[in-house]
Structure 1
Amino acid sequence: MCSRPSILGSQRGTAAIEFALVLPMLAMLLLGIVGYGDRIFTAQALQQAANDGARAAIGGLDRAERGTLAIAATRTSLTRTGMLDASLATVAIDDDDATFLVRLSYDASARPLMTAGLVPMPGRTIVRTAAIRLESP
């Protein structure tokens, strides 16, 4: 009599089944890492652009010139990142002759990883602020 392996005792195909069960979780984890990495990159680039705008404002002699210098420097910094669209950014300036504030708001809804919907992401608008003191203490 020839013996055949029992179907219940066979281990063939178990790796494929285990992989099929684990793959969705691994894919979500990977997409989450990449998506949040993109969000952190965008936020850091925006913070740097706001800082550059605030630093550039120091050279201005009056409110109008400080505002012009800050907006130009912010737009230049955003363009130089190579990955952010400067037209999606809104720059707000607050100058009370003692403190100069640059508030940068960016609509990240056009970023593909933000809109994929596979992983829950924070809000689509990223806001960063930079301030400098204009008068000496």
Structure 2
Amino acid sequence: MTVSTRVSRFARPIALTGVTLARGERGAAIVEMALVLPLLLALLMGILVYGHYFMLAHNVQQAANDGARAAIVGLDAADRRAVAERAVARSIDPAAGTHSVAVSETADAITVAVTFTAADDSFLRSSFVPSPDHVIRARATFELPVD
């Protein structure tokens, strides 16, 4: 075998058929999907986690508002506290987590502070994406009616 035949054997052009091109495009699509899919999943999980957080934060603020609004009809401080705790308990879904209520009162206003801790199986405890705090705090203040 001469040098010229060796060169010509390695230098000859490869005929690209439809099957070879299709196989190459399929491989490129798999590589592109492998690069893009983790980013897409992280984006979708971020949407779920933060959407869940904003929904819970809204619900906790609404529960504090409901508690303070309901508490202004109480006869004395103990009655106002009990009414506020019942109103908050009605407003917050017990399956979503645990909550605590603190009621403070001045001569002309009542403040209800709600602290909500998300359940262990909540999206807020996800480690796939950076998530906000799983403890949500809200407070609402209403003026007491003047006698």
The TM-score bracket by the shorter chain reads 0.7 to 0.9
2:127 alignment counterpart: 117
Question: Does the CA-based 8 Å contact 2:104-2:112 persist in structure 1?
Answer: yes
Query: 2: distance between equivalents of 1:26 and 1:12?
Result: 20
Question: Does the CA-based 8 Å contact 1:103-1:130 persist in structure 2?
Answer: yes
Change (3 A) 1:17 1:63: same
Query: 1: distance between equivalents of 2:99 and 2:47?
Result: 25
- The CA deviation at 1:11 is 3.2
Q: 1:131 aligns with which of 125, 128, 141?
A: 141
Q: Which amino acid aligns with 1:71?
A: E
Q: How many residues align?
A: 131
SS of the residue 1:94 aligns to = strand
Question: Does the CA-based 8 Å contact 1:109-1:125 persist in structure 2?
Answer: no
Is 1:70 aligned to 2:84, yes or no?
A: yes
The Cα RMSD (Å) is 2.4
- The CA deviation at 1:83 is 5.1
1:98 alignment counterpart: 108
Segments of 5+ residues of structure 2 without an aligned counterpart are 1-11
Runs in 1 of length 4+ with deviation above 6 angstroms? none
Deviations 1:34-58 (A, max 9, x none): 0000001111111111111011111
Q: Percent identity?
A: 37
Question: Does the CA-based 8 Å contact 1:59-1:66 persist in structure 2?
Answer: yes
Question: Does the CA-based 8 Å contact 1:97-1:135 persist in structure 2?
Answer: no
2:96 alignment counterpart: 84
Change (3 A) 1:111 1:91: farther
Query: 2: distance between equivalents of 1:65 and 1:40?
Result: 32
Query: 1: distance between equivalents of 2:121 and 2:138?
Result: 17
Question: Does the CA-based 8 Å contact 1:99-1:131 persist in structure 2?
Answer: yes
- The CA deviation at 1:112 is 2.5
- The CA deviation at 1:70 is 0.5
